[in-house]
Amino acid sequence: METSSAANYFKDKHVTVMRVGLIGRGIGDAAYIAEMGGTVLVVDDAPQSVMQPAVDALTKYPNISFKFGPYDFADFKDADLVLVGAGAPLEEPVLLECKKAGVRLVQSAALFAELSHVPIIGVTGTRGKSTVTHMIHHVLSVTTGEEVLLGGNVRGVSNLQLLKQVKEDSLCVMELDSWQLQGFGWAGISPAVAVFTNFMEDHLNYYERGGKSKAEAMDLYFLDKAQIFLHQEESGVLVTTPEVFTRAQKLPGSIGQEVILADASVLPEDMLLSMPGEHNRLNAALAYEALKAVGLTEDEIFAGLASFPGVEGRLQLIATLDGVRVYNDNNATTPQATTVAIKALAGDDKNIVLIAGGADKGIDTSALVLGIVAHVKQLVLIPGTGTDALIAALEAAGYANYVVVENLTAAVEEARLVAAVPEIILFSPGFASFSQYKNEYERNDEFMALIKKYE
């Protein structure tokens, strides 16, 4: 049951959808607008041959048309609104022209928030946001027994299609990345409860465009993330860590909402979580504080967290092959994330066979090198610019136990050959996937399928 305002919002509107993507979110958004009586022009600077799956998925809608190749302001200037897909560059000339001309730019997660009027628990941060989002969603679902909506940066989920599931008493948990939070900034809104897990280097390849320094890029990245709390009303709640809050206080404007600083010590010492590592205890503490803020009791929260199964692709134990445990940490796309994974699984000696590598994001690898030197018996690398940078740093540190193979299939075979009980195979790339894959989900699925073959 949609609210009538949401159902009628797109009727007779002309909407330009920019960067429709291939993993279902943008495709679902475009379909929803068409279903609700809007006229949609999908524009994408990728060639049609690449975007054909999106065309095929939307071909049944007569009110959707397509245009591929360089962006042309003529396709934007008369639109009632422009739905901007993830990762569109901040300085994209056509978007700057739209802003100058007063053309309304929207992003689907923020538009869902505006049209649905449901209370939202939003979660952001460089690392841990998926885990914390799914923890909160799991605990709310098992405690209330009601359908709790899950959206934002969730694989294959169209935020506009979620409008069909909204009921009068709905609650939504949203994982929000920096691009989606740009949209909250444009709309001047923030979730009722905001969780900001941590802030580290990431996406520098995006924010350093235009010759910006690393410090300037980090400031821009933080400002996008900060949209999760900058527009909260006084009744809002911000759950974060002392480090993030210190940085947040340097931004212009006052923080008048309630601020809760999370600390793993709120969890009982004997509480067991399915996901290993001290960082996951902090993730659980952040989830705990957010759940307390929406009225759940300690007992309800702790029981829910204890039954949380973990998240695919995040330090997930997926198999035990001949006594060797295999962990899938595909979503570790930064050196810091892989460093954390190594720390979580490290034994007294070098007990890890690590599969890593991919495309460079320009992030410092020194902590990762230390982690590899201390805990990794054998490093198996898949090619990429990040791999090249890591090898140079490892050789400078005198580490030689690495091998470069041509692809993930060969990497899994190599890891299987060298790992013996009680060692661990850890797939934690530390870099982006775009040198060999369309996106990180494709890499995840390939790894899961390869391990399944051995089971």
Instruction: Kindly tell me the sign of the dihedral angle through the C-alpha atoms of 18, 20, 25, 28.
Output: positive
Q: How far apart are CA 368 and CA 117, in angstroms?
A: 43
**Within a 10 A sphere around the Cβ of 317, how many other Cβ atoms?**
15
One-letter amino acid at 74 equals: A
Tens-digit pLDDT profile for residues 139-196? 999 999 889 999 999 888 999 999 999 999 999 999 999 999 999 999 999 999 999 9
Residues contacting residue 378 through CB under 8 Å, at least 6 positions apart = 353, 354, 401, 402, 403, 415, 418, 419
Tell me, what amino acid is at 260? Answer: I
pLDDT of 3 reads 54
| Percentage, residues of the chain above pLDDT 70 | 99
Query: Which two tokens mark 336?
Result: 């810091």
Per DSSP, what are the bridge partners of residue 319?
326
Q: Where are the beta strands (DSSP E) in 329-405?
A: 352-356, 376-381, 402-404
Of 169, 166, 167, 150, nearest to 158 by C-alpha is 150
Closest residue by Cα to residue 196 from 187, 206, 184: 184
Handedness of CA 292, 297, 299, 304 (dihedral sign): negative
Q: Give which of 300, 261, 301, 299 is closest to 282, Cα–Cα.
A: 261
3 state DSSP class of 225: helix
- Residues whose CB is less than 8 angstroms from the CB of residue 393 and which lie 6 or more positions away in sequence, other chains included: 365, 366, 369
Query: How far apart, in Å, do the first and last CA atoms of the chain sit?
Result: 43
- What is the band of 106 on the pLDDT scale with cuts at 50, 70, 90? very high
Over residues 64-101, the pLDDT tens digits come to 999 999 999 999 999 999 999 987 887 899 999 999 99
| DSSP string covering 60-129 | T-TTEEEEESS--GGGTTT-SEEEEPTT--TT-HHHHHHHHHTPPEE-HHHHHHHHH---EEEEE-SSSH
The lowest-confidence range among 4-8, 91-95, 248-252, 423-427 is 4-8
Q: Give the pLDDT confidence score for residue 240 in this predicted structure.
A: 98
Q: pLDDT exceeding 90 applies to what percent of the chain?
A: 81
Name residue, tokens 């892989």.
338
HSE-up of residue 150 (Cα within 13 Å, Cβ side): 18
Q: Over the stretch 331-390, which tens digit does the pLDDT of each residue have?
A: 899 999 999 999 999 988 899 999 999 999 888 999 999 999 999 999 999 999 999 999
What was the pLDDT predicted at 404?
97
- Residue where the block lists tokens 């999908």: 42
Kindly tell me if the per-residue pLDDT of 1 is higher than 60: no
Distance CA 387, CA 383 (A): 6
- pLDDT-based confidence at 14, cuts 50/70/90? very high
Which residues are bridge partners to 356 per DSSP?
A: 381
Q: How many CB atoms sit inside 10 A of residue 309's CB? A: 10
Q: Which of 78, 70, 84, 68 is nearest to 26 (CA)?
A: 84
- Mean pLDDT, residues 243-256 taken together: 92
Q: How confident is the model at residue 253 (pLDDT cuts 50, 70, 90)?
A: confident
- Enclosing H/E stretch for 238: strand 237-240
- Count the Cβ atoms, other than its own, within 10 Å of residue 229: 29
Which residue in 371, 332, 354, 369 sits closest to 411, CA to CA?
A: 354
**For residues 227-250, average pLDDT:** 97
Distance (Å, whole) CA 136 – CA 121: 9
| Average pLDDT value for residue range 279-306 | 96
The residue type of 62 is P
The string of DSSP letters for 132-169 reads HHHHHHHHHHHHH-SPPEEEES-TT--TTGGGGG--TT
All domains in the chain, ordered by first residue = 12-106 (3.40.50.720), 110-306 (3.40.1190.10), 316-454 (3.90.190.20)
Alpha helices in 208-274 (DSSP H): 214-230, 242-248
288 and 131 in contact (C-beta within 8 Å)? no
Burial group, residue 412, by CB count within 10 angstroms (0-12, 13-18, 19+): buried
